[in-house]
Amino acid sequence: MNLTLVFQSMFSGIMMGSVFALLGIGFSLVWGVMKVINISHAAFGLLAAFMSYTLLNVWGIDPILSIAVSVPLLFLAACVIYRFLIAPLTKARDIIVPSMILTFGIAIILENLMLLIWSPDPRLLTTAYTSKVVILGPFYFQYPRIAGFLLACAGVVVIHMFLKKTYTGKAVRAAWQQRDAAQLYGVNLRWISMITFGLAVSSAAAGGVGMALLYSFEPHTHNLWLIYLFLVVIVGGVGSVLGAALAGLTIGIITGLSMAFLPYQWVNLLTFALLMIILIFRPQGLFQSEV
């Protein structure tokens, strides 16, 4: 076996996986702490990718910079959606299924909105550095992958620090560990839920741009991304930021290696066989929730 190829595909896998992680963290967080399975999570990511596409092609703004536009915009949109669509739902005793149906509807609306604005053609984020590579010894790294990797690392660190170091982040964790006690000590549950949902959707926006740096996309692509989201949650454990990060990396490395050594049609088979094995032996995920 060619060792250079092994390492090369592992590095590629890590870079892909880091972006899966960023895309998946918010999904996992909202599922774990709010019991909302946000089917539209990836669709918001895709919307951010299309926004980057337009900003790049109309004004020449770099995709990484365009996050400064899409993240705050989607944060606000998510807060409004939480306030008027999801908050009324939280009065129900069990909100997992209703929330899935509701957010499935939101995903369909977003998908058709994107079809309307950007048409069904596949798109690529083609920047000046798209075809550039860094060569280190026997290894080469494509610029867009490096950009996606750095973006993902920054995103994961920011979310982690927010939850661990800021008062609002601590209130998010407190509210989901012990709902009553958090309220008794002054945490406004509706406010904190809104922040959590907004934060998750913003991270999806950053993750979506990261995905767009690696792969081509069209308005239906979020359905495929959604499968990776479920993978991240199942491997990483529901509600865990670090778990999601490690899960993303694990999935990335497995995909990267299998892409290099297996015929293409076997890649997904292997990934999902692995998923089934994890579900059988570690149904709670490989990592523990620390939120």
User: For residue 141, which phi and psi values (nearest 5 degrees)?
Assistant: -125, 125
Min CB(179)–other proteins separation in Å: 9
Min CB(239)–other proteins separation in Å: 10
- Burial (CB < 10 A; 0-12, 13-18, 19+), residue 95, is middle
Our CB check for other proteins shows the closer of 218 and 290 to be 290
CA angle 96, 98, 104 (to 5 degrees): 100
Our CB check for other proteins shows the closer of 158 and 189 to be 189
* CA distance from start to end of the chain: 41
Min CB(183)–other proteins separation in Å: 4
Our CB check for other proteins shows the closer of 168 and 271 to be 168
Our CB check for other proteins shows the closer of 83 and 170 to be 170
**Count of alpha carbons within 13 Å of 10, Cβ hemisphere only?**
6
| Whole-number Å distance between alpha carbons of 176 and 189 | 9
Our CB check for other proteins shows the closer of 163 and 204 to be 163
Q: Which residues lie near other proteins (CB under 8 A)?
A: 167, 170-171, 173-174, 177-178, 180-189, 289-291
Tell me the β-bridge partners of 142. 133
| Cβ-based neighbours of 44, under 8 Å, separated by 6 or more | 74, 77, 78, 110, 201, 204, 205, 208
Min CB(173)–other proteins separation in Å: 6
Min CB(194)–other proteins separation in Å: 14
Min CB(285)–other proteins separation in Å: 15
Our CB check for other proteins shows the closer of 142 and 193 to be 193
